[in-house]
Amino acid sequence: MKSPTLSLLPQAILSLILAVQGFAASSDSFSVTDFGAKGDGKKDDTVVFQKALDAAGKAGGGVVYAPRGNYFFAGHLNVPATVTLKGVWESVPAHNGIRDAGLPKPTDDGTTFLVTESAGQEDGPAFLTLNHNSTLKGVVIYYPDQDPAEEPKPYPYAIAMRGKNPAVLAVELLNPYNGIDASQNERHLIRDVQGQPLRRGIFVDFIYDIGRIENVHFNPWWSLKPRLFAWQQKNGEAFIFGKSDWQYVYNTFCFGYNVGYKFIKTKSGDCNGNFLGIGADDCFTALEVEQCSPIGLLISNGEFVSFHGPDPTMVRVGTNNAGSVRFVNSAFWGPCNQIAKIAGKGTVGFSDCTFVNWDSKKEGRPAIQAEGGNLLVRGCEFEENKAQVEIGAAVRKAIVTENIIKGKLRIANNSSGVVIVKDNASDDAKP
C-alpha cells in the first residue's frame, strides 16, 4: 500500500504550481480601468492609459488590457518595451459604415480608441508608438472628427513601429489619414489588419532585417461618399515601400487608391522582397515601381485591376528603376488603358500571367509597352484580339515566347538590341 503522504504529494505540487502561475498571470496583467480610464467617449483617457503602460514597463513587461469601451484620446501613447496593449477583439472586426447602417457602429461594440490629436496637420508624433517587443492587439482606431462626406483632415500616423519585433495584430484602422509607419525597426509584424486609411496605409522604410505584412485588407467600408472617395482615389497610396531588405508580404488587398503598391527610393535605399497573393482593385495604378533594389521584387499569385483615373494602368515601372521586377502566375484585368508601361534600365518579367481588357478606348495601345531595360514575357495568355507587346528602341534585350494569343499576333519590335520572339500560339499562326 502506498503511503498516504506520498499519494498526496503530486497534488500538493500541482496546487503549488497553479498558485505560482496564477500569481504570475495577475502580476503581469494591468487593466486601464484600475488606473482610472472611463471609456465613455468623453473623458480624456490619455494620461491614465500611459500610467498603466508605464507601470507594465517598470514591472518588466506584461499585458495592459482595455475592456469594452470608447476611449477618448486628446494626446498620444507610447507602449514601452515588452508591453502589449490589448482590447477585446481576438479577430479583426469590420464596421461597414454608411453602406450597412444596420450593423453595429465602432462605438457600440468592443474596444475603440477615439483619436483627435493634431487634427489638420501630418507632422507630429503618431497616436501610438510601439517599441522593442511591444504589441498592439484587438482594438479599433477611429477618428471621430473625420467627415465621411468631405475631403479628409490630415493627421499624423495612427501607429508608429520602432525598435525590434514590434507587432500590430487584429487591429481595425477604420478611418485614419495615415495608417502605420513601419519604418526604423527590425522584424516588424503586421497581421490581420483592415480598414480604410485615407492618404497612406502602410509605409515601410529603413528596414535592415526582415519585415512581415500578412492578411491586411484596405477597403472603403467607412465611406464611399463621392467627395471623400474621389479624394482618396486621387491621393491615396495603400502600401509604400522604401528601404527594406527582404520584405515579406502575404495575402494583402486594397481598393480605391491612386496607387495600390508603390516602391520608391528614399535616403535609406530601396526595396527587395517576396510578395505573395497580393491584390489591388479599382486603383488608378495597381502597382508602381519608381525604383527597387537590383536584387528585385518577386510578385506571385497577384490580382490587379485598374479602370478609373486619367490613364488607368496596372503596372508602371519608372525611368529611374534599375532593379528586377518579376510577376508570376498573376492576373490583370478591368477595362484599363494598358497592362504595363515599362521604362528604366532594369528587367521586368511576366511568367504564366493572364491579361484581359486593355486598350479600353480603342487607341491601339499594346497590353505591354516597354521603353527601356530588359523584358521577359513567357507562357502568358493574352485574352484580347489587340496589340500585345511593343518593344521600344531603348530596350536592350527582350524575350517574348510561348504565349497564347487570342486573334492575330501583334508584337512590334523597334529595338536594335537582342530580341527573341518565337513559339507564340496565335490564331493566325501556321500549323
CATH of the domain at 32: 2.160.20.10
CA distances from 109 to 33, 105, 112, 140 (A): 17, 7, 8, 10
pLDDT by residue (tens digit) across 300-336? 999 999 999 999 999 999 999 999 999 999 999 989 9
The three cell numbers locating residue 143: 477618428
Q: Could you tell me the three cell numbers for 54?
A: 508605464
Domain that holds residue 146: 26-235
| 162 HSE (CA, 13 A, CB side) | 12
Average pLDDT on 134-163 reads 98
Q: What is the pLDDT of residues 29-43, one digit of tens each?
A: 999 999 999 999 999
DSSP H/E element including 404: strand 404-405
Note whether residue 298 is domain-resident.
no
Span 194-230, pLDDT tens digits: 999 999 999 999 999 999 999 999 999 999 999 999 9
* Residue 216 covered by a domain: yes
Residue 143 lies in a domain: yes
Number of domains in the chain: 1
Other Cβ atoms closer than 10 A to 108 = 11
Q: How many residues does the chain have?
A: 431
Q: State the chain's maximal CA–CA distance in angstroms.
A: 97
3-state SS assignment for residue 17 = helix
Going 28 to 29 to 35 to 41, the CA torsion angle's sign is positive
Is the per-residue pLDDT at 288 higher than 90?
A: yes
Weakest mean pLDDT among 2-16, 92-106, 238-252: 2-16
Three cell numbers, residue 97? 459604415
CA gap 229, 232 in Å, rounded: 5
Q: What is the pTM of this model?
A: 0.93
Q: What is the Rg, in whole angstroms, of the alpha carbon atoms belonging to the chain?
A: 26
Half-sphere exposure of 170 (CA within 13 A, CB side): 15
Across all residues in the chain, what is the average pLDDT? 93
What's the whole-number mean pLDDT along residues 119-132? Answer: 96
DSSP code at position 291: -
- With a pLDDT cut of 70, the percent of the chain lying above it is 92
In the predicted structure, residue 3 carries a pLDDT above the cut 90: no
The SS3 call for residue 157 is: strand
Strand 83-86, strand 418-422: pairing = unpaired
Cα–Cα distance for residue pair 148/146, rounded to 1 Å:
6
Residue 211: the pLDDT is 98
Q: 3-state class of 174 per DSSP?
A: coil
E-assigned strands of 66-124?
69-73, 77-79, 83-86, 111-115
